[in-house]
Amino acid sequence: MIVGGIDIGSATGKAVILKDGDIVGQQVIKSTTNPVITADEAMGQALEQAGLPSVDHLENVVVTGYGRLQIPYASENMSEITCHAKGAHWMTPSLRTVIDIGGQDCKVISVSPKGAVLEFSMNDRCAAGTGRFFEAMARALDCGLEGISALENQGDNPCTISNQCSVFAESEVVTLVNEGIDVKNIIAGINNSVASRLMSMSRRVGVIEDVALTGGCSKNYGLAKALADKLDITLQKLPEDPQIAGALGAALFAAERLDKAD
């Protein structure tokens, strides 16, 4: 059985191909302005990795993400929350809480022992605490996303970043720089600010270990450390790229649909 899953996010497009329950192709690319093009490029590269000539060789394809309604060759579209829970739980079955931090929204998902969604909290009204927020902060500090993420750049005396809005927070960071505040303390303050927001969301759902991060911002090691400290937990490191969790979940659902049809 060969199936595919696609996750079209605001910042990146992801594709995963499963063959008999194993990942044989995966790809993460920068999103284009057209979700169909994003899906085609991500899936095309995943197919190449899997040694398949075209999407026609897949027995089923399920899609999730912002552009999920636009993909003509997908048999079904599903919510990101359901797919992220499914994919992350497949990677690490002991997970009971998944915190997804994407380019445009954040989600905290409570997961059952079988990988089903029990409850969730989502921030999709503004860019606070998302990839777009970190892009604005990196621009203000002229340090790149890697600079904000690096553990060696986390200062010992984090500044207080009072604004959650990306625009106002960017202005606040510029002011701190002009006041001569140590950039490392500003970076630590940025990550602490987002971690505090995620902690509030997590508490609304209820944090049950094991806990893991998914999405592009899961690769922000400074944020991961700040969040783990605030929640007083050890975050689990997923065995696969945490950015593919949604696409992997979609592929797993594609396989399940075929099993039920037989």
Summarised one tens digit per residue, pLDDT across range 69-108 is 889 999 999 999 999 999 999 999 999 999 999 888 899 9
With beta carbons less than 8 A apart as the criterion, state whether 117 and 107 touch: no
Tell me: do 144 and 180 sit in the same domain.
yes
Say if residue 210 is preceded by a cis peptide, omega within 30 of 0: yes
| Main-chain dihedrals φ then ψ at residue 10, nearest 5 degrees | -70, -30
With beta carbons less than 8 A apart as the criterion, state whether 62 and 76 touch: yes
Does an H or E element contain 171, and which?
Answer: helix 166-178
Tell me: do 62 and 111 sit in the same domain.
no
Identify the domain containing residue 71 by its residue range: 1-92+239-262
Tell me: do 16 and 52 sit in the same domain.
yes
Tell me: do 100 and 204 sit in the same domain.
yes
Tell me: do 211 and 109 sit in the same domain.
yes
Report strand pairing: 235-236 vs 211-214: parallel
Domain with residue 74: its CATH number is 3.30.420.40
Count how many domains the chain has. 2
Summarised one tens digit per residue, pLDDT across range 206-260 is 899 999 999 999 999 999 999 999 999 999 999 999 999 999 999 999 999 988 8
Q: What is the CA radius of gyration of the chain?
A: 19
Measured from the Cβ of residue 145, the count of other Cβ atoms closer than 10 Å reads: 17
Measured from the Cβ of residue 115, the count of other Cβ atoms closer than 10 Å reads: 18
Summarised one tens digit per residue, pLDDT across range 120-129 is 998 866 666 7
Tell me: do 27 and 112 sit in the same domain.
no
